[in-house]
Chains A and B, each alone.
Chain A
Amino acid sequence: MKWPRTLRVLGTAALIACPLPAAARPDVTLWVVQPPGELVAFDLSDFSRVGGVRIPPAAFNDPHRLAVNGASQILTELGDGQLWIWDGSSAATLPSVPRSPRVEATAGRPSASIWQWLIGDDGSSLYSLDGTSRQDQEFGIDTATTPLHVRETDLAQRVRSTVFAGLSGACQDHAMLSDLRVPCPDPQLWAPGGVVRDFFVLFQCEQLVYPGFSDGMVPSADCHLTLWARAARGWKPTEIGNRGSWTLLDAIAGGTSWIQADEDDGCCGHENGSSNQTVFANTDTSVVLFDEWPRFNNQSYEVSFFTANARIAPGSRRVAFTVHATAGAASELRESSEGHSDSLALAGIRRSLAELPLVEIDEVHSGLGPVQLLLLPHAELVGWASASEVVVVEHGRLVAIDVLTRRRRESGISVRSTADAFLAWR
């Protein structure tokens, strides 16, 4: 069929004038902290610079504070009772503790308030956690019960809804290998990259055994993680487990799939008390991605290998993570307390240390173990640019690598560390 000439011209004009269809738009933007003090957006297709935002020196010098969402908004806690936000077109400084709502005063005990902020991904929301810190023991044994809230606000901190309102009771735990009582860790709000898409995780501790000061009972705390997922009618909580000594590294798909890392339980001068594991889990199954001792045969030596960060690819079929160690290749390695000298194992450990940091990319199939797709020595993971391409830092520069074809795209962008780079998904 032949189109009339006028229609063809009009069609061409419409194609030029109209924005790209949704499917052709970029889903992800690369943001990189760059001199002279900016967070710069780059188009991932060709690493061309899109534009930059001046960020406060506190964020420039500690980019871990930065959270960037898919709507090109930036949030950072400045550490002096202030938040800094770029709403996509202008910057504003807000108080960490907004004037309203106020934390209700805790009767009988001066208290330190906790305020933590995350940014939403919808372009108009912030999320706050407010409660009372239990860390300050200056005022004696903590016996007070204080409120704990998670709220959704607009970008000007006006409360839209209270997601969670509860009470936080007195809480103490015991220090490892002693009956020394220590305050429970403060509650914490977590979302991947500090950005709340359709879920967040609330970490809080509760007292299991109240400390009896005369009968010598040892207090114990139950620290657990609650996944709050956005549902049709508000937010729905699900307990996703106790947090003994593991850390969430990443989560996607409404928080139904996540990567967690077991921390080493070595203490008291020992740093290799257990085999560090990193697990890719969902509500039904879990797959061990990384198991330190079988892999590095290092149980006899005081060096611990661990995953520093991890990212799940879109589609949840692939994962990538960075392996670090507590010692360098040239470090002196002591035998662990129950270890024995093994020159072969030691040589292997040294070879492994010489490759660090190392990025590993695995394909994960339900019911099967991980299949290793790629190992990148001397690299650190930034994240996934697509379902098959990762962005890593090699020799201080950002590189995109297709994990299937191994095609490399050098960006030429320098970074101080992997913390300088962010991949913000739409």
Chain B
Amino acid sequence: MSVRTVRLQAARQCLVYAAVIGVLILSATARAGERRGTHDRVVAYFTGRPSGGDWRIFDPVSRTDTLFGSFGGGAVYWDTTESYAEYLASGRLYRVEWEMEAQPWPEVQLPSEVFDLVDWWFNPDSLCWQAAGLGGVPRNFARNEARFSHCHSELWQSDQSGDDWRIADAETTDCGGCYFCETWENPNPRATRRRPAIGLNRLREAMTIDGWGGTPEKVPPPVGESPSTFDWYFIAFRTAPGRGLALRLGHRTPDLRTFMMPFYLMDRVRGTQRLLETPESYRDQELWRIGMAEYDGYLLVSGTRNYVYDLSTGEQIFHPRSHAGSGAVWIARPRPARVDSIGLRRLRARFR
């Protein structure tokens, strides 16, 4: 056998070994992935005041609650790739990379003359920032008389640099005597196209049963519960229609549906029910603006109280240290903090 033939055989053997090892690694990774799921989403929530609270991340898989940043904000939006978030704080728009240890960076100073800044967006048509301002027009009010006679909605628009702002349009509507102006009436819908973004409020709204079009099905009370003034309903999960929550729904006003404690996790396929823990809530308590969304085997119930349930056991696993009053949402897991210091070592070596 020539030396060349021996070398060729050795090379072939190496290739076969490499291929086998590659296949083994790939199959092991795939199996691990199946076991763990993708787990690419976490629960994001705020604690404290919007102006200066903490932004926290709860990972249901590791059950870890991590501080994302000590910067409160309102009107939060993520970009559509969930690589950064933008929010309002102290009249300024900030951007923060959706990355652990990231710090916010000021982007645009919003006009200080706005009554109450309720929303903002970037308009891809005008390439300008726009902001929604809302305020009440006071009237001479006597005792027990509503505070405002009208609500005033303003559309503000920046120049392309974002330095100067002006009122682009405004509209005043009769609120029939009101204490609060809550709804911003868009004075010029044609001039307010928004750059696509994922809004925190939209995510919350999308979690309500009205938001995702859930159809509560009237059911008899779970075993052990007596009939009450409010009817019991079964709300099926979107990802597993055979399972869902059983609870009582209330209608305080036509457009305000409440969830009443307690909640039951129902599995219609197996015919099981489980009473769910709802810490810091009492029996028959009604919660407003509650939403629910399951992901990767975990259920987030979010609103004035927030719970995360492991759907395989029914265990409530979310115990925030501070009250997360503004709700919680599922969002992409923030990237780990980047380290980019290789170039610095080269730089340092150059200076030696």
CB within 8 Å for A35 and B97 given contacts A51-B341, A89-B345: yes
Interface assignment of A354: CB less than 8 Å from any CB of chain B: no
**Do residues B342 and A51 form an inter-chain contact, with CB atoms below 8 A?**
yes
- Which of B101-109, B126-134, B308-316 is near enough to bind chain A? B101-109
**Do residues B340 and A38 form an inter-chain contact, with CB atoms below 8 A?**
yes
**Cβ–Cβ < 8 Å partners of B223 in chain A:** none
**Do residues A51 and B103 form an inter-chain contact, with CB atoms below 8 A?**
no
Complex: how many Å from CA A426 to CA B348? 10
Residue of B nearest to A53 (CB): B341
Complex: how many Å from CA A26 to CA B351? 8
CB within 8 Å for A52 and B341 given contacts A57-B103, A416-B105: yes
**Cβ–Cβ < 8 Å partners of B161 in chain A:** 395
**Do residues A36 and B99 form an inter-chain contact, with CB atoms below 8 A?**
yes
Interface assignment of B35: CB less than 8 Å from any CB of chain A: no
Complex: how many Å from CA A35 to CA B95? 9
CB within 8 Å for A36 and B102 given contacts A50-B344, A89-B341: yes
CB distance from B287 to the nearest CB of A (A): 35
Residue in A36, A49, A60 whose CB lies within 8 Å of B343: A49
Complex: how many Å from CA A40 to CA B95? 18
**Cβ–Cβ < 8 Å partners of A51 in chain B:** 340-347
CB distance from A423 to the nearest CB of B (A): 14
Task: List B residues 86-115 near A (Cβ within 8 Å).
Answer: 95-97, 99, 101-106
Task: List A residues 2-31 near B (Cβ within 8 Å).
Answer: 19-20, 25-26, 29
Which 4 residue pairs spanning A and B have beta carbons closest together? Answer: A51-B343, A36-B102, A36-B97, A51-B344
CB within 8 Å for A52 and B340 given contacts A35-B96, A37-B102: yes
Q: Which residues of A contact B (CB under 8 A)?
A: 19-20, 25-26, 29, 35-38, 40-41, 49-54, 57, 60-61, 70-72, 88-89, 395, 416, 426
**Cβ–Cβ < 8 Å partners of A71 in chain B:** 348, 351
**Do residues A50 and B347 form an inter-chain contact, with CB atoms below 8 A?**
yes
CB distance from A102 to the nearest CB of B (A): 33
- Besides A36-B101, A51-B344, 7 more A-B contacts (Cβ < 8 Å) are A36-B97, A38-B340, A52-B344, A57-B69, A60-B103, A72-B344, A416-B105
A-B contacts, 24 of them at CB < 8 A, read A25-B350, A35-B96, A35-B97, A35-B102, A36-B99, A36-B105, A37-B337, A40-B340, A50-B343, A50-B344, A51-B341, A51-B343, A51-B345, A52-B341, A54-B101, A54-B337, A57-B69, A57-B70, A60-B103, A71-B348, A89-B348, A395-B161, A416-B106, A426-B351
Interface assignment of B3: CB less than 8 Å from any CB of chain A: no
Residue of B nearest to A59 (CB): B103
Interface assignment of B339: CB less than 8 Å from any CB of chain A: yes
**Do residues B105 and A35 form an inter-chain contact, with CB atoms below 8 A?**
yes
Task: List B residues 323-340 near A (Cβ within 8 Å).
Answer: 337-340
**Cβ–Cβ < 8 Å partners of A29 in chain B:** 347
Residue of A nearest to B107 (CB): A414
Complex: how many Å from CA A54 to CA B341? 9
CB distance from B308 to the nearest CB of A (A): 27
**Cβ–Cβ < 8 Å partners of A54 in chain B:** 101, 337, 339
CB within 8 Å for A41 and B97 given contacts A72-B348, A426-B351: no
Complex: how many Å from CA A282 to CA B345? 37
CB distance from B273 to the nearest CB of A (A): 46
Residue of B nearest to A26 (CB): B350
Task: List B residues 106-164 near A (Cβ within 8 Å).
Answer: 106, 161
**Cβ–Cβ < 8 Å partners of B351 in chain A:** 25, 70-72, 426
> Looking at chain B's contact residues, is the secondary structure mostly helix, strand, loop, or mixed?
mixed
Q: How many residue pairs, one in A and one in B, have C-beta atoms under 8 Å apart? A: 75
Complex: how many Å from CA A60 to CA B344? 18
CB within 8 Å for A19 and B350 given contacts A35-B103, A36-B97: yes
CB distance from A243 to the nearest CB of B (A): 34
Complex: how many Å from CA A36 to CA B103? 5
Interface 0/1 of B52-87, CB less than 8 Å to A: 000000000000000001100000000000000000
Complex: how many Å from CA A57 to CA B101? 8
**Cβ–Cβ < 8 Å partners of A60 in chain B:** 103
Tell me which of A38, A71, A89 has the highest count of chain B C-beta atoms within 10 A of its own C-beta.
A38
Complex: how many Å from CA A29 to CA B351? 10
CB distance from B73 to the nearest CB of A (A): 15
**Cβ–Cβ < 8 Å partners of A53 in chain B:** 341, 344
**Do residues B103 and A88 form an inter-chain contact, with CB atoms below 8 A?**
no
CB distance from A60 to the nearest CB of B (A): 5
**Cβ–Cβ < 8 Å partners of A57 in chain B:** 69-70, 103
**Cβ–Cβ < 8 Å partners of B70 in chain A:** 57
**Do residues B343 and A41 form an inter-chain contact, with CB atoms below 8 A?**
yes
Complex: how many Å from CA A320 to CA B218? 78
CB distance from A214 to the nearest CB of B (A): 50
Complex: how many Å from CA A15 to CA B281? 75
**Cβ–Cβ < 8 Å partners of A49 in chain B:** 343
Complex: how many Å from CA A71 to CA B101? 26
Residue of B nearest to A29 (CB): B347
Complex: how many Å from CA A409 to CA B341? 26
Complex: how many Å from CA A40 to CA B343? 10
Residue in B96, B97, B345 whose CB lies within 8 Å of A88: B345
Residue in B69, B104, B105, B347 whose CB lies within 8 Å of A72: B347
Complex: how many Å from CA A25 to CA B351? 8
CB distance from A129 to the nearest CB of B (A): 27
Complex: how many Å from CA A31 to CA B209? 51
**Cβ–Cβ < 8 Å partners of B344 in chain A:** 41, 50-53, 72, 88-89
Complex: how many Å from CA A37 to CA B84? 13
Residue of B nearest to A72 (CB): B348
Residue of B nearest to A34 (CB): B105
Residue of A nearest to B162 (CB): A396
Complex: how many Å from CA A38 to CA B96? 13
**Cβ–Cβ < 8 Å partners of A395 in chain B:** 161
**Cβ–Cβ < 8 Å partners of B101 in chain A:** 36-37, 54
Residue of A nearest to B99 (CB): A36
Tell me which of A29, A37, A61, A88 has the highest count of chain B C-beta atoms within 10 A of its own C-beta.
A37
Residue of B nearest to A73 (CB): B348
**Cβ–Cβ < 8 Å partners of A40 in chain B:** 340
Residue of A nearest to B345 (CB): A89
Complex: how many Å from CA A151 to CA B243? 70
Complex: how many Å from CA A37 to CA B339? 11
Complex: how many Å from CA A72 to CA B97? 25
Complex: how many Å from CA A185 to CA B97? 42
Residue of A nearest to B334 (CB): A36
